[in-house]
Structure formats: C-alpha cells, structure tokens
Amino acid sequence: MDNGLLVLGLIPLVGALFVAILGATNASDETAKRTAFGISLIELVVTIVICAKFHATGQVFQSTTSVKWISQFGVHFSLGADGIALVLIALTSVLTPVVLLASWHDASGGRRSVATFFALVLSLQALLVGVFSATDVFLFYVFFEAMLIPMYFLIGSYGGPQRQYAAVKFLLYSLFGGLLMLAAVIGLYVVARNQGHATFDFATLTTLHISKTTQDWLFLGFATAFAVKAPLVPFHTWLPDAGAEAPTGGAVLLVGVLDKVGTFGFLRYCIPLFPDASKTFAPWILGLAVAGILYGALVAIGQRDMKRLVSYTSVAHFGFIALGIFAMTSQGGAGAVLYMVNHGLATGALFLAVGIIVGRTGNRDVNAYGGLAKVAPLLAGAFFISGLASLALPGTNSFVSEFLTLLGTFTRYRIASILATVGIILAALYVLWAYQRVAQGPVRGLSEKVKDLSTREVWVMAPVLALVVVLGVYPKPLLDVITPSVNRTLQQVHRTDPAPTASAGDVGAPASLPDYAPGTSPFLPGGDGRTPHLDVAIGAFK
Amino acid sequence: MYTHATGAFHATWLLVALPLVGAAISLIGGKRLDKVGHIVGTAAALASFVVAVVLFFSLKSKAGIGRQQDDHLFSWVPVNGFKVDASLLLDQLSSVFTLLITGVGSLIHIYSIGYMEHDAGRRRFFGYLNLFLASMLLLVLADGYLLLYVGWEGVGLASYLLIAFWYDRPSAATAAKKAFIMNRVGDVGLSLAIMMMFATLGTTSFSGVFGAAAHLNHAQVTGIGLLLLLGACGKSGQFPLQTWLPDAMEGPTPVSALIHAATMVTAGVYLIARSSPIFDLSQDARTGVTLVGCITLLYGCLCGTSYDDIKKVLAYSTVSQIGYMFLAVGLGPAGYAIGIMHLLAHGFFKAGLFLGAGSVMHGMGDRVDMRTYGGLAKVMPYTYVTFLLGYLAIIGFPGLSGFFTKDKIIEASFDKGGTSGYIYGIAALLGAGLTAFYMTRLMCMTFWGKRRWEPTDHPHDPPKSMVGPMVLLAFGSVFAGGLFVLGGSLQHWLEPVVGKSVEEGAHTISPGVLTALTLVVVAGGVGSAWLYFGRRSIPRLAPVAVSPFTFAARRALLADALNETVIATPGTWLMRAATWADSRGIDHAVNGIAAGVGGLSGRLRRVQTGFVRSYALSIVGGTALTLLLLLVIRAG
C-alpha cells in the first residue's frame, strides 16, 4: 500500500482546483495555461516513477490504496493497478500534456473561460486515473459516471457549431449505458451478499459462483455500458458527432483515452466476473467487432467531414480491440491492450493533425482542400505519418497490436479473423484517399490559407509521432507488462491458448483445413473442430 | 538450424541501418540539407554496397552451415507462445539479393543525381530512395515471416511515396494509391499465411516453419502456399493483381528502374523461392504459381505489343518477365535457382533499359510517346548502344544474359513432363517470340526509322554521371547470365537454400533442339516486328481504326475496366449505402426512439446549461437511489 495511484489521482485534481481558482482571480490566461501544463508534466514524471517501480510478475494490483468508504455496504475507496491499467494510465499521462499544449489557443473562443478549459482537462485526467485504477466495483461505477461531466463541458462549451447537440447526445448515450451498469452493479452486490460477501471488492467478486442465467443478465448490464462507451456497432452513432464537434484536445482525450474505458471494462470486469456468460456472448461480440471493422471502415471512406472520418476509423479500430479481447487468447488479449495504448497515440496524432488543419480554416470538408503538402509540408507529413499508424503499417505501433489481435483470433475463430483481415484493405483506402484529397494534387481551395506547423505545434506532434515509431520497433517493454496481466485474466476464466494444430502426431492425418463442418458456426467456440479439449472445457461450464 | 552470427556477420544490421539513417537525415533534416541530400543518400547506398560485398566474400569463405549466419538483434514481439525476434539471416540466397539491391541501387542513386538535378524535391527523392533500400534489405534479410512483412510493407510505402513523388499531379497520386491498395489485397494473403503458420506450427520463423513443415497436412500446406502466392501476386504485379504496375510508371524513371523493374517487384519471386520447403510439399500450390506465371507472362507480352508509351511497354515487359520467374519457381526444385537467375539477370537488363528510356525522355522534353521519337540512334550514341545491349539481352540473343536464363526456363518447363509441361513450355516459347516482337517494335519506333520529333527537340546523350551507370548495367546485361549459368555456379551456391535442381532427368526435348527452336521463334518475332514497324513509316498519331485485339491491348486487355465493373463500382455503391444508412438509418432510429420515449430528440437541440444542472441532480439522485436500494437489500 504505497498510495502511488492516490498521489497520481490527486495531483491533477488539486491542480484542476488550483487552475480554476487562478481563473476566478485576476491571473492572466497565460498563467493558468502554464500552471496547468506544468502540473501535467509533474504528473508525467510521477507516472514514470510508478511505472519504474512496477513488477510485472509481482502482486496483481500494485501502488495500492484502500480505505473504507461506505462501510454499511462494504464499499471501499481502493485503488490498484495491474499491467493493463498501468499502461492506460501511462497513456493518459502522456497525452494530457500534449493535449494541453495543443489546446493553447483553442479555448479562447469558448463559452467558458480559458482557465476553466484547462481545469476541466486536468480534472478529467484525475477521473481517468480513478476509473482505470479502481479495484472496487462501486468506486469504478462512480468514476465511470463522473468522468462524463468534464467531457460534457469540454464538448458543450468549447466545441464546434453543433456542440450542444453532440454533447447532450454523448451524455444521454452514456447515461443509458451507465444506468444498465448500475442495475448490474446492484445485482452483483445482491448475489455477493447472498453468498456471504457483502462487498464490492473486485478480487472477492471474481471468486463468486454465479448461476449461468444471473451471469448472463449481469454481463449484459456491464457489456452494454461498455459497448456504448467503446463504441461497438450499432451503439456508435454518438461518436462521430462528439468526435467532430469536440475541440481537438477534447476529441483526443475522448477517443484516445475515455473510450478505452469501454474496452478496458470488457477485459477487466466482464470476463473475470462473468466467465460463463462471456463465453456465451463472445461469438456475438466477435460478430459485432467484425461488423464494426468492416462497416466502420466503409462509412469512414464515405465521409467528407475530416473529423467524422477519423471518428469512424476509430469505430473500426475498436472492433479490432474487441475482437482481441473476446477471442480469449493471450495473443489476442495482449494485442488488444497494446492496441488500446497504440490507438490512443495513433488516432490521437491523427486528430491533432486534422485539428490543426481545421483550426486554420474552420472548414472540416476534405474536398475544400488540395495540395496541402506543397503549402505546409510539415503539417502534411504529420498527417501522413499519423495516417500510416492508423492503417497499421508495419514499423508503426499499431501494426504490432493489430496483428496480435488478428493472430490471437485466428487460432480460435478463423472466419472472424479472416473477415477482419480484409479490413486492412479498407483502412488503406480511407487513409490514403483522405490524404490524397487534402494534401496531394494542385494547391487549391482553402489549402492556400493553411500555414505550416508552428514551433509549439511541432512540439505537440513530434513526441506522439516519435512514440508511434518507437513502440512499433520496440513494443517489448509494454508487452512485458501487459502479458502477465492478460494471462491472469485468462486463467481466471480457464482459457488456454489453442495448441498448434500440426504436431508430430498429426503426420498423415486426413485433411482438416479448411474444416468447417457444414452447419457449424465459425463464430462458435470450438467450431473449428480441431480443439476438442476446449469443447470439453466449455461443456464443463455449461 | 542457422549459425549464430559472429565476427563480421555481427555487422549485417549495418546493411539496413546505413540507408535508414540516410533516409532519416534527408527527410528530417529539412530544407537546410537541400544542397547535400543527394550526396548523403548516394553515400549511404554505396556504404551499404561495400558492406554487402565484404559480407558476401566473408560468407563465401565459410563452408556448409557457416554460410547461413543468423544475427540476433533483439526480441521484438514476445507474447507467450508467440515469440518473434528481430534477427537478420545472411545466407546464400539473401546475400545474392543484398548485392543486387545495393549494387543496382547505388548505380541508380548515382544516375539520379543528374536526372533529378533540376527538381526542387531532390533531397526528398533521395530520402525516399534510401528508405526503399533499407526496407528492401530488411525484406530479404529477415529471418522470419513477420519481420519480412515489415520490409514487405516498407517497400510498399517507399513505392507509394516515389510513385506519388510529383504528388501535385492527380494521376501520380491516384496511381500511388492504387499501387498501395492492390498491394494490400496481396498483404491480406501474406498476413493470413503468417497466422496460419502460427496456428498450425506455433512459429513464424523460417527455421521453425521449415523445420516442422513436414508435419502439416496437405490442405494446410497448400493453404499456406496459396496465401503466400496471393501476397506475391500483389507485390510482383502478377495476375490478377497486375494492373497497378503499369500505372506506377507515373513515378520518376529511376524509380521505375530500381523499384518497379529490378528489385521490389521481384520480391514475390524471392518469397516463393525462400518458402521452397513449403512449396516443395504441395504440388497444388506449385501449380497455382506456374499458372499465375504463364497467364501473366502472356498477358504482359500481349499488352506490350500495343502501347505507344515507352515506359508502359517496358512496364508490361516487366510484368511478363516476372511471369517467367513465377513459372520457373513454380516448377519446384527444378526451377527455384533458375527463377532467381532470371531475376538477377533481369535486374541488370531491365534497369538498364529503364535508365535508357529515362535518358531518351531527358532528351525529348520528358515525352514518353514513341510515335514522336524515331531515329535517335545517331544523336544519342551512348544511350543507343547501352539500350541495344539491354534489348539483345531481353530477347535472348545468343551469348547475352537473357539467352541463358530464359532458355533454362523454357527447358525446365518442357522437362516438367506431361501435358502441363507442354502447356508451360509452349507458353514460355510463345512469350519469347512476343517479347522479341514488342521489343523490336520499341527499337523501331525509338532508335531506328525516320525522325518524328517536335521542332523544339534537341536530343543528346545525358551527362557522364548518368551514362556511367547505364554502361555498367549494360555490362551486366551482357555477362551476368553467362556468369550465373555456365558451370552451374549460381545453382550450386543456392542449393543449400532452395534444394538441388534436378537437371539430370530425361529431357522432353533435347536442349540443343530446344535452343534452336527458341532462336527460330525469337527471329520470327524480330522479323515480323521489323516488317510491320521497321520498314513502314509510323504515323505520328495512333491509328483509330484498329482491330479488336489492338483496341483491347491498348487498354491493358480491359483488365482495368473489369476491375472497375466487378469491384470498384459495387464497392462504391456499398460504401455509399453504408454511409447513407449510418447517417439516416441507425442514427435516426436511435433519435427516433429517444423522441418516442421521452420526446427528448426535439428538445435536445434547445437544451442549454439548465439541462446539465438537472443531470448533475440526476447523478446525485441516482446515487441516493442506489444507496437506498442497497439499504433495502441489506435490510431484506
């Protein structure tokens, strides 16, 4: 119990209050901005210290805090990070200073003060630390709902022309999901209490034996909330509006980090708490994931609004992440978690680049531009490299994670993986076509007015793009932290990776590939017919 | 399975690192380096060539397994059973490729100094070329499929950047995008092949996969082979993914020479030869490769007969020649080494031909229409002679490179035996005649015959820095084939990697007769082209009333039209439908539900801050309700 995460949560929270007070007094906007930026850098340093102290093979949850909160219901204020939470907290700490620096001039036209914007971002960061590190399900729910508030204000007060519509839509969708989760949280408590554990403690709750029907209902409560948040098709239609109307910095945090709470929740809460239900619903969610990959990409190709386009690419990317999680293999799971981090960086960079372009002219229509590479080569270059990361080019970070999710899925759900792999063609199309329309061809339209990156903007883009490349070449430090946590999660649900199907004993065996017996669903576990021990395992759970 | 690299072989990574650093300096350095970018780039290429030569001779001095040096760099993607290292394998096959890539690559860097002299983007050009070299070297040096895939898409990126080098031309930007996307179609195949290897064998490294491949059943090994073939078709511009390659000629001509003729587009051949332990196990997969090769080699020849754009003709020639290589490597152990030999010889003569074409364009105001050339032999003597040698090499004139290597392919095709052997052999023979036809047509329209220039043209040979590489490549065109084939030297060198080529078997047709037959066919091609184009005058405008064949051949035998109808148009409709459905359908449905339930939708747009207060209230209320519920549950 070294309270590391508590400190990590308090720094931005106290910082947010301080910046808000600065805003209320006569301090200049510049002072408020610098203060907020400084705080985010301190937060980054503390995060690095906590990461350095983390032992991947040590205790499940580290840097913990636990105090009784509402003792009548066994609610604890308890924090702790496993490898999965740690990398997402690190992502938050990396992106926050980037977002603050990127938003330097973005808040002045808003409906609230500049200082308020910076305070909101810091408070959002504090709540994100909380949501990732909560080890009490009730506390998680509180953070899950509370983090909507600063994001609501960021969109509604500093966003584009349709900001009110987008902000309220975002809020209502999340509220709807949150209510279902609340019901499930209460239901879970009832079950636990009936089994003599009147607690919300995550670790204790994973040891319960819950009947299959109850599991199914509770799973659906949690999963719907997460499917709205991460958005899976068809729960996604709030995202393009929110992503397009949010100020650039808000969009980066929304799509880069906040939405990851959904995929994080699938892996952290749905699977370990409701293992049998997870197996039942896995094929359905894989179906939604594949649909999201293909449908999200197709719709992204069809967009003319650059920010909506990036939002739809994220729908496709969340499909890959959900695919990796519900394949329930270690490669799929580790790839999914790594993708959560990588997507935050890659799509964050893409939102930043697009945001800078749009910020220059106020026009989000791709067809209003042309030949940007000639006028603003650095900006076009940043846009291009971010795009390459988005289409998961090998050498960029996204490739490693995308390939791992596909590979991890292939070993168990072959058809799902094959269909998802087709998504890489569509990804190339939406990125390169957008780049062609905006940056290539003769200089025309609004491009003429676009200035190249300023020094500040270079400092915004460069660290993110550097990480995109570094993590593509050397992802091992992250994987070393992620894999043990994913392994633990899969052990909790008794899932082992399928063994290689061709072994020495197989020589001369009859052809078994492609071997989908007519009528069996490729999405069903064990439907590939070559992993009988899994069927037995599943049978045991039924 | 491989020797752990020691001594000089620890420096293998320099091969990749040197051009990579060159690229980084040129591209990140920005405008400050405009004056030195080309020097940095060329120096990096030459340095990499020196390393390649040193390593090649070090390798040659070793024996047996010592000729397969595995240089482990770091652990790349470790997740439980899936362990992929960044390791470079320098063996007989990859070392030959490093020589080709850095050798031809360096020559083309030198040539480009002059060719791109007046281009404002020269530094960027050399940065991209360096990036290409690094990726291509990584592709051939990777010791496993996943790392190969990094080089594989890396060269795709470099190719994209260089095709779109003049990105302000919409046609160049479109061609680059097309190339990347068609390559991605192939990459789906390569990705799935890698996944299947892991699912069946638990590994994706060469040593792991090849060592255990015998445990795969027939369907598995055929599946992997055909998926690899799909990847190879994308990268190498083979049927049915061939249409991007001719469009790629939008890039500067040195790019066409290096990437779209000599090296990158032959990566598919490398992939299949490298995967020989897999293809050896499946006749079906090999049949797939040979069929693709046959179809493409004839397709390329037929298209090549009808274009007036000199670069397009050479591009279809490349498509066709790579078809020959696919045919060869698809023949299995009999053909792997022969395919690689033709690849290397082709690397020299086709690069030389492209540089010659670039030199012609340089002198003719960057026009590519051969109908406006004619009679250039006298005014561009160096270009003419080097081009002529390349021409003789590609049509298989006795003694020159193409003669040795293509002859071997025709021979091996017939020797396969059976009906299929005859089909392959006749296709290859027919291709040789057609190649002679379209190349002679090109010579007639460009160097021979009457002058059909613009009044403003003053064609002349390029400066020495450009002539030099052309001369060296012409030497290669003349001697490389003989060097490889005579005494079976290259075949023996490659034997440990691709297996022993079976030559001692019974010949379907005796080699002497076959060579004579080939020469007759080639002479027929040359002669008929001479009758059609050499003796008659060539109209400056392409005739409009032409046979249906010419009509189709001028349009790539309608391949683009087919893609347009079968894939692009339905795809566009699907995309539009999805986009429409998403904004009208799903979103409206959700908003509609909201409206139905609480009449919220209409109010949404009007709510102002008051709503947020009520939300804050609802959170407080919700929490209170929760606590109340919990209390009730506890009490109950």
Sole residue written with tokens 């990396």: A94
Q: Which of B132, B127, B102, B100 is nearest to B116 (CA)?
A: B127
Closest CA of chain B from A437, distance in Å = 9
CB contact under 8 A, B157 and A190: no
Taking residues A146-171, report their average pLDDT: 90
What percent of chain A has pLDDT above 90? 71
The answer on pLDDT for A330 being more than 70 is yes
Closest CA of chain A from B28, distance in Å = 10
CB contact under 8 A, B74 and A474: yes
Taking residues A401-407, report their average pLDDT: 96
Q: What is the DSSP string of A346-396?
A: HHHHHHHHHHHHHHHHS--BGGG---HHHH-HHHHHHHHHHHHHHTT-BTB
The answer on pLDDT for B607 being more than 80 is no
Residue B497's contacts (CB-CB under 8 Å, 6 or more residues apart) are B68, B91, B92, B93, B273, B274, B276
Query: What is the C-alpha separation between B634 and B629, in angstroms, rounded?
Result: 8
Between A212-226, B80-94, B267-281, B536-550, the lowest mean confidence (pLDDT) is in B536-550
CB contact under 8 A, A334 and B79: yes
Distance of CA A170 to the CA centre of its chain: 16
A100 by Cβ neighbours in 10 Å (0-12 / 13-18 / 19+) ranks as buried
Residue B595 has a pLDDT of 54
Taking residues A76-102, report their average pLDDT: 95
Residue B538 has a pLDDT of 80
Taking residues A273-290, report their average pLDDT: 94
Taking residues B34-43, report their average pLDDT: 91
Between A187-196, A342-351, B481-490, the lowest mean confidence (pLDDT) is in B481-490
Taking residues B185-210, report their average pLDDT: 94
Closest A-chain CA to B222: A513
Q: Which pLDDT band, with edges at 50, 70 and 90, does B623 fall under?
A: low
Label the pairing between strands B3-4 and B82-90.
unpaired
Residues A42-71 have pLDDT tens digits of 999 999 999 999 998 888 899 889 998 888
Mean per-residue pLDDT of chain B: 87
Residue B628 has a pLDDT of 65
Read off the pTM. Answer: 0.90
Q: How many CA atoms lie within 13 A of B59 on its CB side?
A: 29
- Report CA dihedral (B433, B438, B441, B442) to the nearest 10 degrees: -140
Complex ipTM value: 0.90
Q: If you count residue pairs, one on A and one on B, with CB atoms under 8 Å apart, how many are there?
A: 221
Between A158-162, A405-409, B21-25, B540-544, the lowest mean confidence (pLDDT) is in B540-544
The answer on pLDDT for B588 being more than 70 is no
Closest B-chain CA to A111: B609
Task: Tell me the chain B residues in contact with residue A70 when contact means C-beta distances shorter than 8 Å.
Answer: 627
Strands lying side by side in the sheet with B69-79: B3-4, B69-79, B82-90
Residue B579 has a pLDDT of 85
The answer on pLDDT for B598 being more than 70 is no
Closest CA of chain A from B267, distance in Å = 17
The answer on pLDDT for B599 being more than 70 is no
Closest CA of chain B from A332, distance in Å = 10
**A186 → closest Cβ in B185, B195, B626:** B626
The answer on pLDDT for B620 being more than 70 is no
CB contact under 8 A, A475 and B77: yes
Kind plus residue range of the DSSP H or E element containing A68: strand A62-70
Between A271-275, B485-489, B608-612, the lowest mean confidence (pLDDT) is in B608-612
